[in-house]
Structure 1
Amino acid sequence: MASGRLDYEAEYNNRARVPDHLIHLDGWEQDAAAYRATARCELSLSYGAGERNQVDLFYPENGDSGGPVVLFIHGGYWQSRDRTSVSHVARGANMRGLTVAVPSYSLAPAANLAGIIAEIEAAADFIMRRMDRPIVATGHSAGGHLAACLMARTSPSLRPVRAAMPISGLFDLPPLVETSINKALGLTLEEAHRLSPLEWTPPGSGKLVAVVGGAESGEFLRQSRAIVDTWGRAGVTTRYHEVPEAHHFNVIAGLANPADPLVDILVELTEGA
Protein backbone atom coordinates (compact mmCIF):
# COMPACT_ATOMS: atom_id res chain seq x y z
CA MET A 1 0.00 0.00 0.00
CA ALA A 2 1.15 3.52 -0.70
CA SER A 3 2.40 5.55 2.24
CA GLY A 4 2.66 9.28 2.79
CA ARG A 5 6.43 9.00 2.71
CA LEU A 6 6.68 7.68 -0.82
CA ASP A 7 4.72 8.81 -3.86
CA TYR A 8 4.21 5.54 -5.74
CA GLU A 9 2.52 7.32 -8.63
CA ALA A 10 5.68 9.35 -9.21
CA GLU A 11 7.89 6.30 -8.72
CA TYR A 12 6.09 4.08 -11.23
CA ASN A 13 4.63 6.47 -13.82
CA ASN A 14 7.55 6.26 -16.22
CA ARG A 15 5.90 8.30 -18.95
CA ALA A 16 5.59 11.21 -16.54
CA ARG A 17 9.20 10.72 -15.38
CA VAL A 18 10.57 10.81 -18.97
CA PRO A 19 8.95 13.76 -20.81
CA ASP A 20 10.33 12.73 -24.22
CA HIS A 21 9.19 9.11 -23.90
CA LEU A 22 7.19 9.33 -27.15
CA ILE A 23 10.41 9.95 -29.08
CA HIS A 24 11.80 6.71 -27.70
CA LEU A 25 8.60 4.73 -28.34
CA ASP A 26 8.41 6.03 -31.92
CA GLY A 27 12.05 5.09 -32.37
CA TRP A 28 11.28 1.55 -31.21
CA GLU A 29 8.53 1.22 -33.81
CA GLN A 30 10.78 2.42 -36.62
CA ASP A 31 13.75 0.29 -35.62
CA ALA A 32 11.53 -2.76 -35.11
CA ALA A 33 9.88 -2.42 -38.52
CA ALA A 34 13.25 -1.98 -40.22
CA TYR A 35 14.63 -5.10 -38.55
CA ARG A 36 11.61 -7.24 -39.40
CA ALA A 37 12.00 -6.17 -43.04
CA THR A 38 15.58 -7.41 -43.27
CA ALA A 39 16.00 -10.14 -40.64
CA ARG A 40 15.88 -13.87 -41.22
CA CYS A 41 12.66 -14.59 -39.37
CA GLU A 42 9.36 -16.44 -39.05
CA LEU A 43 6.53 -14.13 -38.08
CA SER A 44 3.14 -14.55 -36.42
CA LEU A 45 3.44 -18.15 -35.27
CA SER A 46 0.45 -19.11 -33.11
CA TYR A 47 1.20 -20.49 -29.65
CA GLY A 48 -2.37 -20.38 -28.36
CA ALA A 49 -5.99 -19.70 -29.24
CA GLY A 50 -6.05 -15.98 -28.40
CA GLU A 51 -5.84 -13.30 -31.08
CA ARG A 52 -2.60 -11.98 -29.57
CA ASN A 53 -1.11 -15.43 -28.88
CA GLN A 54 1.55 -15.09 -31.54
CA VAL A 55 5.33 -15.15 -31.49
CA ASP A 56 8.00 -14.04 -33.95
CA LEU A 57 11.26 -15.97 -34.32
CA PHE A 58 14.44 -14.19 -35.40
CA TYR A 59 17.37 -16.30 -36.57
CA PRO A 60 21.09 -15.50 -36.91
CA GLU A 61 22.07 -14.75 -40.50
CA ASN A 62 25.17 -16.90 -40.32
CA GLY A 63 23.73 -19.93 -38.56
CA ASP A 64 22.54 -20.65 -35.05
CA SER A 65 25.03 -21.62 -32.35
CA GLY A 66 22.68 -24.42 -31.24
CA GLY A 67 22.31 -23.04 -27.72
CA PRO A 68 19.24 -21.90 -25.80
CA VAL A 69 16.69 -19.60 -27.40
CA VAL A 70 16.38 -16.09 -25.98
CA LEU A 71 12.73 -15.24 -25.19
CA PHE A 72 12.18 -11.47 -25.01
CA ILE A 73 8.87 -10.30 -23.48
CA HIS A 74 7.71 -6.74 -24.18
CA GLY A 75 6.62 -4.29 -21.52
CA GLY A 76 3.81 -1.74 -21.31
CA TYR A 77 2.50 -2.46 -17.80
CA TRP A 78 0.64 -5.53 -19.14
CA GLN A 79 -1.76 -3.13 -20.93
CA SER A 80 -0.03 -1.74 -24.03
CA ARG A 81 2.48 -2.51 -26.83
CA ASP A 82 3.08 -5.81 -28.63
CA ARG A 83 5.89 -7.87 -30.11
CA THR A 84 6.11 -5.78 -33.30
CA SER A 85 7.26 -2.72 -31.35
CA VAL A 86 10.44 -4.42 -30.09
CA SER A 87 11.62 -6.68 -32.92
CA HIS A 88 14.92 -4.79 -33.09
CA VAL A 89 16.00 -6.03 -29.65
CA ALA A 90 16.73 -9.38 -31.33
CA ARG A 91 19.52 -7.90 -33.43
CA GLY A 92 22.37 -8.05 -30.93
CA ALA A 93 21.74 -11.64 -29.87
CA ASN A 94 21.18 -12.71 -33.48
CA MET A 95 24.56 -11.30 -34.40
CA ARG A 96 26.10 -13.37 -31.59
CA GLY A 97 24.60 -16.59 -32.96
CA LEU A 98 21.45 -16.78 -30.82
CA THR A 99 17.87 -17.31 -31.97
CA VAL A 100 15.40 -14.88 -30.38
CA ALA A 101 11.65 -15.37 -29.84
CA VAL A 102 9.43 -12.32 -29.27
CA PRO A 103 5.80 -13.03 -28.25
CA SER A 104 2.71 -10.90 -27.86
CA TYR A 105 0.15 -11.60 -25.15
CA SER A 106 -3.37 -10.48 -24.28
CA LEU A 107 -3.56 -7.11 -22.56
CA ALA A 108 -5.45 -5.70 -19.59
CA PRO A 109 -8.26 -4.89 -19.10
CA ALA A 110 -9.43 -7.59 -21.56
CA ALA A 111 -7.16 -10.07 -19.75
CA ASN A 112 -6.26 -10.30 -16.09
CA LEU A 113 -2.68 -10.65 -14.89
CA ALA A 114 -3.00 -14.31 -13.90
CA GLY A 115 -4.19 -15.06 -17.43
CA ILE A 116 -1.31 -13.10 -18.94
CA ILE A 117 1.19 -15.11 -16.89
CA ALA A 118 -0.42 -18.32 -18.16
CA GLU A 119 -0.18 -17.11 -21.77
CA ILE A 120 3.55 -16.39 -21.42
CA GLU A 121 4.03 -19.84 -19.93
CA ALA A 122 2.29 -21.24 -23.02
CA ALA A 123 4.54 -19.17 -25.29
CA ALA A 124 7.66 -20.41 -23.52
CA ASP A 125 6.51 -24.02 -23.72
CA PHE A 126 5.67 -23.64 -27.42
CA ILE A 127 9.17 -22.35 -28.16
CA MET A 128 10.90 -25.05 -26.12
CA ARG A 129 8.88 -27.79 -27.80
CA ARG A 130 9.26 -26.37 -31.30
CA MET A 131 13.00 -25.74 -31.03
CA ASP A 132 13.73 -28.64 -28.64
CA ARG A 133 15.93 -26.31 -26.63
CA PRO A 134 15.80 -24.50 -23.30
CA ILE A 135 15.19 -20.77 -23.16
CA VAL A 136 16.77 -17.79 -21.47
CA ALA A 137 13.91 -15.52 -20.43
CA THR A 138 14.32 -11.77 -20.66
CA GLY A 139 11.93 -8.87 -20.91
CA HIS A 140 11.41 -5.20 -20.17
CA SER A 141 9.34 -3.78 -17.30
CA ALA A 142 6.14 -5.87 -17.21
CA GLY A 143 8.08 -8.29 -19.42
CA GLY A 144 10.71 -8.49 -16.68
CA HIS A 145 7.99 -9.55 -14.26
CA LEU A 146 6.84 -12.23 -16.69
CA ALA A 147 10.42 -13.46 -17.23
CA ALA A 148 10.83 -13.89 -13.47
CA CYS A 149 7.48 -15.71 -13.30
CA LEU A 150 8.75 -18.19 -15.89
CA MET A 151 11.87 -18.93 -13.89
CA ALA A 152 9.94 -19.29 -10.63
CA ARG A 153 7.20 -21.62 -11.88
CA THR A 154 7.19 -25.03 -10.23
CA SER A 155 4.97 -27.33 -12.31
CA PRO A 156 6.73 -30.71 -12.63
CA SER A 157 5.08 -31.28 -16.01
CA LEU A 158 6.68 -28.21 -17.60
CA ARG A 159 10.26 -27.81 -18.76
CA PRO A 160 12.05 -25.50 -16.31
CA VAL A 161 13.49 -22.11 -17.16
CA ARG A 162 16.88 -21.89 -15.48
CA ALA A 163 18.15 -18.48 -16.57
CA ALA A 164 16.64 -15.01 -16.83
CA MET A 165 17.60 -11.39 -17.40
CA PRO A 166 14.69 -9.15 -16.37
CA ILE A 167 15.24 -5.53 -17.38
CA SER A 168 13.63 -2.87 -15.16
CA GLY A 169 11.39 -5.62 -13.88
CA LEU A 170 8.47 -5.50 -11.46
CA PHE A 171 8.60 -8.26 -8.86
CA ASP A 172 6.74 -6.64 -5.93
CA LEU A 173 3.30 -5.55 -7.16
CA PRO A 174 1.43 -4.15 -4.12
CA PRO A 175 2.91 -0.64 -4.62
CA LEU A 176 1.04 -0.45 -7.95
CA VAL A 177 -2.42 -0.99 -6.47
CA GLU A 178 -3.13 2.65 -5.61
CA THR A 179 -1.56 4.12 -8.75
CA SER A 180 -3.10 5.04 -12.10
CA ILE A 181 -1.34 2.01 -13.58
CA ASN A 182 -3.85 -0.22 -11.78
CA LYS A 183 -6.90 1.31 -13.48
CA ALA A 184 -6.67 -1.19 -16.36
CA LEU A 185 -5.20 -4.01 -14.30
CA GLY A 186 -7.81 -3.95 -11.56
CA LEU A 187 -5.53 -5.70 -9.07
CA THR A 188 -6.73 -6.11 -5.52
CA LEU A 189 -4.07 -6.00 -2.84
CA GLU A 190 -4.46 -9.75 -2.33
CA GLU A 191 -3.96 -10.41 -6.05
CA ALA A 192 -0.95 -8.11 -6.14
CA HIS A 193 0.69 -10.16 -3.39
CA ARG A 194 -0.26 -13.46 -5.00
CA LEU A 195 1.16 -12.47 -8.41
CA SER A 196 4.44 -11.01 -7.13
CA PRO A 197 7.43 -13.26 -7.90
CA LEU A 198 9.17 -11.88 -4.81
CA GLU A 199 6.50 -13.59 -2.70
CA TRP A 200 6.75 -16.96 -4.48
CA THR A 201 9.05 -19.72 -3.36
CA PRO A 202 12.31 -18.80 -5.11
CA PRO A 203 14.00 -21.23 -7.47
CA GLY A 204 16.64 -23.25 -5.69
CA SER A 205 19.17 -22.93 -8.51
CA GLY A 206 19.75 -21.27 -11.86
CA LYS A 207 21.08 -17.87 -12.91
CA LEU A 208 19.46 -14.45 -12.85
CA VAL A 209 20.85 -11.03 -13.75
CA ALA A 210 18.52 -8.15 -12.84
CA VAL A 211 19.18 -5.16 -15.10
CA VAL A 212 17.92 -1.64 -14.39
CA GLY A 213 18.67 1.84 -15.65
CA GLY A 214 20.81 3.96 -13.38
CA ALA A 215 18.51 6.97 -13.89
CA GLU A 216 15.31 5.10 -13.02
CA SER A 217 13.25 5.72 -9.90
CA GLY A 218 14.32 4.48 -6.51
CA GLU A 219 11.50 1.94 -6.58
CA PHE A 220 12.73 0.35 -9.81
CA LEU A 221 16.23 0.15 -8.36
CA ARG A 222 14.82 -1.38 -5.16
CA GLN A 223 12.81 -3.99 -7.05
CA SER A 224 15.84 -5.28 -8.95
CA ARG A 225 18.03 -5.33 -5.85
CA ALA A 226 15.30 -7.15 -3.93
CA ILE A 227 15.00 -10.06 -6.33
CA VAL A 228 18.78 -10.39 -6.57
CA ASP A 229 19.07 -10.52 -2.76
CA THR A 230 16.05 -12.78 -2.15
CA TRP A 231 16.73 -15.30 -4.89
CA GLY A 232 20.45 -15.20 -4.21
CA ARG A 233 19.86 -16.34 -0.63
CA ALA A 234 17.74 -19.22 -1.97
CA GLY A 235 20.53 -20.63 -4.15
CA VAL A 236 20.17 -18.81 -7.48
CA THR A 237 23.37 -17.30 -8.87
CA THR A 238 22.30 -13.65 -9.08
CA ARG A 239 23.78 -10.35 -10.14
CA TYR A 240 22.55 -6.76 -10.16
CA HIS A 241 23.50 -4.71 -13.23
CA GLU A 242 22.86 -1.00 -13.71
CA VAL A 243 23.00 0.57 -17.16
CA PRO A 244 24.70 3.91 -16.46
CA GLU A 245 22.46 6.98 -16.86
CA ALA A 246 19.74 4.97 -18.61
CA HIS A 247 16.06 5.74 -17.99
CA HIS A 248 13.11 3.41 -18.45
CA PHE A 249 12.79 3.93 -22.21
CA ASN A 250 16.42 3.64 -23.32
CA VAL A 251 17.57 0.92 -20.92
CA ILE A 252 16.93 -1.75 -23.58
CA ALA A 253 18.75 0.08 -26.38
CA GLY A 254 21.91 -1.98 -26.00
CA LEU A 255 20.13 -5.20 -26.97
CA ALA A 256 20.33 -4.13 -30.61
CA ASN A 257 24.14 -3.90 -30.43
CA PRO A 258 26.09 -7.19 -30.45
CA ALA A 259 28.96 -5.57 -28.53
CA ASP A 260 26.80 -4.23 -25.70
CA PRO A 261 27.16 -5.54 -22.13
CA LEU A 262 23.49 -6.61 -22.11
CA VAL A 263 24.13 -8.93 -25.03
CA ASP A 264 27.27 -10.20 -23.28
CA ILE A 265 25.06 -11.09 -20.30
CA LEU A 266 22.59 -12.96 -22.51
CA VAL A 267 25.42 -14.95 -24.07
CA GLU A 268 26.74 -15.81 -20.59
CA LEU A 269 23.29 -16.92 -19.44
CA THR A 270 22.91 -19.28 -22.39
CA GLU A 271 25.98 -21.18 -21.23
CA GLY A 272 24.65 -24.06 -19.18
CA ALA A 273 21.01 -22.87 -19.24
Structure 2
Amino acid sequence: MDAEAEYNNRARVPGSAEIIATWMRDAEAFRTTWTRKRLDIRYGDAEPERLDLFLPEAEGPCPLALFIHGGYWQALSRSAVSHFARGLLLNGVAVAVPSYGLCPAYSLRTIVEQIRRAAAVLCVTTHQRMLAVGHSAGGHLAAMLRATDWPDFAPGLREDVVPAILPVSGVFELEPLLPTTIARALDLTAAEARALSPRFLPPPGGEVHAVVGGAESDEFRRQTRDFAAAWSGTAEEIPGANHFTVLDPLTDPAHPLTLRAAAMARRLASL
Protein backbone atom coordinates (compact mmCIF):
# COMPACT_ATOMS: atom_id res chain seq x y z
CA MET A 1 0.00 0.00 0.00
CA ASP A 2 1.17 3.53 -0.82
CA ALA A 3 0.12 5.15 2.45
CA GLU A 4 0.96 8.66 1.25
CA ALA A 5 -1.33 8.30 -1.76
CA GLU A 6 -4.09 6.76 0.34
CA TYR A 7 -4.10 9.36 3.12
CA ASN A 8 -2.85 12.64 1.62
CA ASN A 9 -6.22 14.00 0.54
CA ARG A 10 -5.03 17.46 -0.46
CA ALA A 11 -2.66 15.85 -2.96
CA ARG A 12 -5.20 13.23 -3.96
CA VAL A 13 -8.12 15.55 -4.80
CA PRO A 14 -7.58 17.97 -7.70
CA GLY A 15 -8.69 21.47 -6.73
CA SER A 16 -8.65 20.77 -2.99
CA ALA A 17 -7.11 24.18 -2.27
CA GLU A 18 -9.91 25.89 -4.19
CA ILE A 19 -12.52 23.84 -2.34
CA ILE A 20 -11.13 24.91 1.02
CA ALA A 21 -10.94 28.55 -0.12
CA THR A 22 -14.63 28.30 -1.03
CA TRP A 23 -15.35 26.87 2.42
CA MET A 24 -13.71 29.89 4.02
CA ARG A 25 -15.83 32.32 1.99
CA ASP A 26 -19.05 30.41 2.54
CA ALA A 27 -18.36 30.03 6.26
CA GLU A 28 -17.71 33.76 6.67
CA ALA A 29 -20.89 34.62 4.78
CA PHE A 30 -22.86 32.20 6.93
CA ARG A 31 -21.51 33.65 10.19
CA THR A 32 -22.39 37.12 8.98
CA THR A 33 -25.93 36.38 7.84
CA TRP A 34 -27.19 33.83 10.39
CA THR A 35 -28.95 35.90 13.02
CA ARG A 36 -29.26 33.63 16.06
CA LYS A 37 -25.69 32.93 17.16
CA ARG A 38 -23.20 33.30 19.99
CA LEU A 39 -19.70 33.66 18.62
CA ASP A 40 -16.29 33.27 20.24
CA ILE A 41 -17.40 31.50 23.42
CA ARG A 42 -14.45 30.39 25.56
CA TYR A 43 -14.51 26.81 26.78
CA GLY A 44 -10.97 26.78 28.22
CA ASP A 45 -7.97 28.95 28.99
CA ALA A 46 -5.84 28.29 25.90
CA GLU A 47 -6.29 30.72 23.02
CA PRO A 48 -7.71 28.16 20.55
CA GLU A 49 -10.31 26.93 23.05
CA ARG A 50 -13.27 28.84 21.65
CA LEU A 51 -16.49 27.83 19.94
CA ASP A 52 -19.38 29.34 18.02
CA LEU A 53 -22.94 28.34 18.87
CA PHE A 54 -25.60 28.66 16.19
CA LEU A 55 -29.27 28.45 17.18
CA PRO A 56 -32.29 27.58 15.04
CA GLU A 57 -34.48 30.40 13.82
CA ALA A 58 -37.34 29.39 16.10
CA GLU A 59 -36.77 30.15 19.76
CA GLY A 60 -37.29 27.53 22.44
CA PRO A 61 -35.79 24.16 23.42
CA CYS A 62 -33.96 22.30 20.67
CA PRO A 63 -31.57 19.36 20.22
CA LEU A 64 -27.82 19.99 20.15
CA ALA A 65 -25.05 18.85 17.82
CA LEU A 66 -21.30 19.47 17.96
CA PHE A 67 -19.53 19.81 14.59
CA ILE A 68 -15.75 19.25 14.71
CA HIS A 69 -13.57 20.40 11.81
CA GLY A 70 -10.85 18.35 10.14
CA GLY A 71 -7.39 19.21 8.85
CA TYR A 72 -5.40 16.24 10.17
CA TRP A 73 -5.21 17.92 13.62
CA GLN A 74 -2.81 20.50 12.14
CA ALA A 75 -4.84 22.85 9.93
CA LEU A 76 -8.09 24.84 9.73
CA SER A 77 -10.38 26.07 12.51
CA ARG A 78 -14.06 26.58 13.18
CA SER A 79 -13.99 29.59 10.81
CA ALA A 80 -13.65 27.23 7.83
CA VAL A 81 -16.75 25.13 8.45
CA SER A 82 -19.50 27.30 9.97
CA HIS A 83 -21.78 26.87 6.94
CA PHE A 84 -21.97 23.12 7.38
CA ALA A 85 -24.28 23.83 10.34
CA ARG A 86 -26.96 25.14 7.97
CA GLY A 87 -28.81 21.91 7.23
CA LEU A 88 -29.15 20.92 10.86
CA LEU A 89 -30.16 24.43 11.90
CA LEU A 90 -32.98 24.47 9.36
CA ASN A 91 -34.11 21.17 10.89
CA GLY A 92 -34.33 22.76 14.34
CA VAL A 93 -31.00 21.52 15.74
CA ALA A 94 -28.56 23.89 17.46
CA VAL A 95 -24.95 23.44 16.31
CA ALA A 96 -21.78 24.25 18.27
CA VAL A 97 -18.59 24.54 16.19
CA PRO A 98 -15.34 24.50 18.23
CA SER A 99 -11.75 25.30 17.39
CA TYR A 100 -8.90 23.44 19.08
CA GLY A 101 -5.13 23.62 19.27
CA LEU A 102 -3.19 22.35 16.28
CA CYS A 103 -0.16 20.08 15.99
CA PRO A 104 2.76 20.45 16.46
CA ALA A 105 2.13 23.27 18.97
CA TYR A 106 -0.37 20.99 20.75
CA SER A 107 -0.07 17.22 21.07
CA LEU A 108 -2.83 15.01 19.75
CA ARG A 109 -3.59 13.84 23.27
CA THR A 110 -4.01 17.48 24.32
CA ILE A 111 -6.34 18.11 21.38
CA VAL A 112 -8.51 15.19 22.49
CA GLU A 113 -8.66 16.72 25.97
CA GLN A 114 -9.64 20.09 24.50
CA ILE A 115 -12.54 18.66 22.55
CA ARG A 116 -13.66 16.77 25.63
CA ARG A 117 -13.60 20.04 27.54
CA ALA A 118 -15.69 21.74 24.83
CA ALA A 119 -18.33 19.00 25.05
CA ALA A 120 -18.29 19.04 28.85
CA VAL A 121 -18.79 22.82 28.99
CA LEU A 122 -21.64 22.62 26.49
CA CYS A 123 -23.30 19.85 28.48
CA VAL A 124 -23.05 21.76 31.76
CA THR A 125 -24.21 25.09 30.32
CA THR A 126 -27.05 23.77 28.14
CA HIS A 127 -28.03 20.80 30.34
CA GLN A 128 -28.13 18.69 27.20
CA ARG A 129 -26.53 15.65 25.67
CA MET A 130 -25.31 16.06 22.13
CA LEU A 131 -24.68 14.39 18.80
CA ALA A 132 -21.03 14.71 17.73
CA VAL A 133 -20.45 15.16 14.00
CA GLY A 134 -16.88 15.46 12.76
CA HIS A 135 -15.03 15.53 9.47
CA SER A 136 -11.74 13.67 8.90
CA ALA A 137 -9.64 14.39 12.00
CA GLY A 138 -12.89 15.70 13.47
CA GLY A 139 -14.42 12.28 12.87
CA HIS A 140 -11.61 10.81 14.96
CA LEU A 141 -12.30 13.35 17.70
CA ALA A 142 -16.04 12.64 17.61
CA ALA A 143 -15.28 8.95 18.19
CA MET A 144 -12.94 9.83 21.06
CA LEU A 145 -15.79 11.80 22.66
CA ARG A 146 -18.06 8.76 22.47
CA ALA A 147 -15.33 6.64 24.09
CA THR A 148 -14.87 9.07 27.01
CA ASP A 149 -15.57 8.12 30.62
CA TRP A 150 -17.21 11.45 31.41
CA PRO A 151 -17.48 11.21 35.23
CA ASP A 152 -13.77 10.32 35.28
CA PHE A 153 -12.97 13.28 33.00
CA ALA A 154 -14.97 15.72 35.13
CA PRO A 155 -16.41 14.45 38.43
CA GLY A 156 -20.12 15.11 38.65
CA LEU A 157 -20.62 15.09 34.88
CA ARG A 158 -23.31 12.83 33.49
CA GLU A 159 -22.18 9.57 31.86
CA ASP A 160 -23.88 10.17 28.50
CA VAL A 161 -22.59 13.57 27.36
CA VAL A 162 -22.16 12.29 23.78
CA PRO A 163 -24.36 9.21 23.29
CA ALA A 164 -24.31 9.30 19.49
CA ILE A 165 -21.80 10.17 16.76
CA LEU A 166 -21.81 10.71 13.01
CA PRO A 167 -18.19 10.82 11.82
CA VAL A 168 -17.65 11.80 8.18
CA SER A 169 -14.50 10.47 6.48
CA GLY A 170 -12.97 9.82 9.87
CA VAL A 171 -9.53 8.49 10.71
CA PHE A 172 -10.05 5.69 13.22
CA GLU A 173 -6.68 3.92 12.97
CA LEU A 174 -3.66 6.21 13.30
CA GLU A 175 -0.85 3.69 12.79
CA PRO A 176 -1.19 3.68 8.97
CA LEU A 177 -0.41 7.42 9.01
CA LEU A 178 3.01 6.98 10.62
CA PRO A 179 5.03 6.49 7.40
CA THR A 180 3.39 9.50 5.69
CA THR A 181 4.28 13.19 5.61
CA ILE A 182 1.03 13.84 7.46
CA ALA A 183 2.46 12.26 10.62
CA ARG A 184 5.46 14.57 10.96
CA ALA A 185 3.60 17.25 12.87
CA LEU A 186 1.79 14.64 14.99
CA ASP A 187 5.03 13.24 16.44
CA LEU A 188 3.42 9.98 17.56
CA THR A 189 5.08 6.77 18.61
CA ALA A 190 3.51 3.54 17.43
CA ALA A 191 2.19 2.93 20.94
CA GLU A 192 0.62 6.40 21.11
CA ALA A 193 -0.95 5.97 17.68
CA ARG A 194 -2.51 2.71 18.79
CA ALA A 195 -3.77 4.14 22.09
CA LEU A 196 -5.42 7.07 20.30
CA SER A 197 -7.10 4.92 17.63
CA PRO A 198 -10.85 4.61 18.28
CA ARG A 199 -11.04 1.46 16.17
CA PHE A 200 -9.14 -0.43 18.88
CA LEU A 201 -10.86 1.05 21.95
CA PRO A 202 -13.59 -0.93 23.74
CA PRO A 203 -16.86 -0.32 21.87
CA PRO A 204 -18.85 2.13 24.03
CA GLY A 205 -22.30 1.43 22.59
CA GLY A 206 -24.69 4.18 21.59
CA GLU A 207 -25.68 5.17 18.08
CA VAL A 208 -22.85 5.26 15.53
CA HIS A 209 -23.30 6.11 11.86
CA ALA A 210 -20.04 6.48 9.92
CA VAL A 211 -20.00 8.16 6.51
CA VAL A 212 -17.38 8.24 3.75
CA GLY A 213 -17.27 9.45 0.16
CA GLY A 214 -17.64 6.86 -2.56
CA ALA A 215 -14.73 8.44 -4.46
CA GLU A 216 -12.36 8.42 -1.47
CA SER A 217 -9.31 6.22 -1.20
CA ASP A 218 -9.60 2.52 -0.48
CA GLU A 219 -8.07 3.10 2.96
CA PHE A 220 -10.58 5.75 4.02
CA ARG A 221 -13.44 3.57 2.87
CA ARG A 222 -11.94 0.55 4.63
CA GLN A 223 -11.39 2.45 7.87
CA THR A 224 -15.01 3.61 7.87
CA ARG A 225 -16.35 0.09 7.31
CA ASP A 226 -14.05 -1.50 9.88
CA PHE A 227 -14.75 1.13 12.52
CA ALA A 228 -18.52 0.88 12.09
CA ALA A 229 -18.34 -2.91 12.35
CA ALA A 230 -16.08 -2.80 15.43
CA TRP A 231 -18.45 -0.42 17.23
CA SER A 232 -21.64 -2.18 16.03
CA GLY A 233 -22.65 0.87 14.05
CA THR A 234 -23.73 1.52 10.49
CA ALA A 235 -21.71 2.78 7.53
CA GLU A 236 -22.71 4.75 4.46
CA GLU A 237 -20.92 5.83 1.30
CA ILE A 238 -21.99 9.07 -0.44
CA PRO A 239 -21.82 8.21 -4.17
CA GLY A 240 -19.26 10.20 -6.14
CA ALA A 241 -18.12 12.28 -3.16
CA ASN A 242 -14.45 12.89 -2.46
CA HIS A 243 -12.88 13.71 0.90
CA PHE A 244 -14.04 17.32 0.70
CA THR A 245 -17.32 17.25 -1.22
CA VAL A 246 -18.58 14.56 1.18
CA LEU A 247 -19.57 17.43 3.49
CA ASP A 248 -21.76 19.18 0.93
CA PRO A 249 -24.96 17.35 1.94
CA LEU A 250 -24.85 18.98 5.37
CA THR A 251 -25.65 22.38 3.87
CA ASP A 252 -28.92 20.99 2.46
CA PRO A 253 -31.73 20.65 5.02
CA ALA A 254 -33.54 18.12 2.81
CA HIS A 255 -30.60 15.80 2.09
CA PRO A 256 -31.05 12.30 3.57
CA LEU A 257 -27.76 12.58 5.48
CA THR A 258 -28.84 15.84 7.11
CA LEU A 259 -32.23 14.39 7.94
CA ARG A 260 -30.56 11.36 9.50
CA ALA A 261 -28.27 13.54 11.61
CA ALA A 262 -31.21 15.67 12.73
CA ALA A 263 -33.17 12.57 13.71
CA MET A 264 -30.20 11.28 15.72
CA ALA A 265 -29.98 14.60 17.58
CA ARG A 266 -33.72 14.67 18.25
CA ARG A 267 -33.63 11.17 19.71
CA LEU A 268 -31.08 12.35 22.28
CA ALA A 269 -33.25 15.30 23.26
CA SER A 270 -36.30 13.10 23.73
CA LEU A 271 -34.71 10.60 26.13
Structures share fold, TM-score greater than 0.5: yes
State the match for 1:70 in structure 2. Answer: 65
Picking from 110, 126, 133, the partner of 1:131 is: 126
State the match for 1:216 in structure 2. Answer: 216
State the match for 2:192 in structure 1. Answer: 191
Taking the aligned partners of 2:197 and 2:144, their CA distance within structure 1 comes to 8
Structure 1, unmatched stretches of 5+, are: 1-5, 233-237
State the match for 2:229 in structure 1. Answer: 229
Counterpart secondary structure, 2:21:
helix
Counterpart secondary structure, 2:67:
strand
Between 123-132 and 55-64, the greater mean CA deviation after superposition:
55-64
State the match for 2:178 in structure 1. Answer: 177
Displacement of 1:18 after TM fit?
Answer: 0.5
Show the 5 A alignment for 1:136-147.
136-147=131-142
Letter matched to residue 104 of structure 1: S
Deviations 1:91-148 (A, max 9, x none): 1111010100000000000000000000000000111111111110011000000000
Taking the aligned partners of 1:67 and 1:242, their CA distance within structure 2 comes to 29
CA contact (8 A) 2:123 2:129 kept: yes
Letter matched to residue 185 of structure 1: L
Q: TM-score, normalised by structure 2?
A: 0.94
Counterpart secondary structure, 1:19:
coil
State the match for 1:47 in structure 2. Answer: 43
Picking from 259, 263, 268, the partner of 1:264 is: 259
State the match for 1:253 in structure 2. Answer: 248
Counterpart secondary structure, 1:251:
helix
State the match for 1:152 in structure 2. Answer: 147
Structure 2, unmatched stretches of 5+, are: none
CA contact (8 A) 1:63 1:97 kept: no
Counterpart secondary structure, 2:58:
coil
Pairs aligned (count): 261
Counterpart secondary structure, 2:104:
coil
Taking the aligned partners of 2:179 and 2:188, their CA distance within structure 1 comes to 9
Taking the aligned partners of 1:68 and 1:175, their CA distance within structure 2 comes to 36
State the match for 1:163 in structure 2. Answer: 164
Between 261-270 and 185-194, the greater mean CA deviation after superposition:
261-270
Q: TM-score, normalised by structure 1?
A: 0.93
Deviations 1:67-97 (A, max 9, x none): 4311000000000000011000111111010
Letter matched to residue 77 of structure 1: Y
Taking the aligned partners of 1:164 and 1:92, their CA distance within structure 2 comes to 17
Counterpart secondary structure, 1:49:
coil
Taking the aligned partners of 2:258 and 2:194, their CA distance within structure 1 comes to 32
Q: Percent identical across equivalent pairs?
A: 48
CA contact (8 A) 1:210 1:240 kept: yes
State the match for 1:111 in structure 2. Answer: 106
Displacement of 1:57 after TM fit?
Answer: 0.3
Picking from 79, 82, 92, the partner of 2:87 is: 92
State the match for 1:60 in structure 2. Answer: 56
Picking from 5, 21, 25, the partner of 1:26 is: 21
State the match for 2:201 in structure 1. Answer: 200
Counterpart secondary structure, 1:148:
helix
Letter matched to residue 60 of structure 1: P
Displacement of 1:265 after TM fit?
Answer: 1.4
Picking from 235, 239, 242, the partner of 2:234 is: 239
Taking the aligned partners of 1:241 and 1:139, their CA distance within structure 2 comes to 15
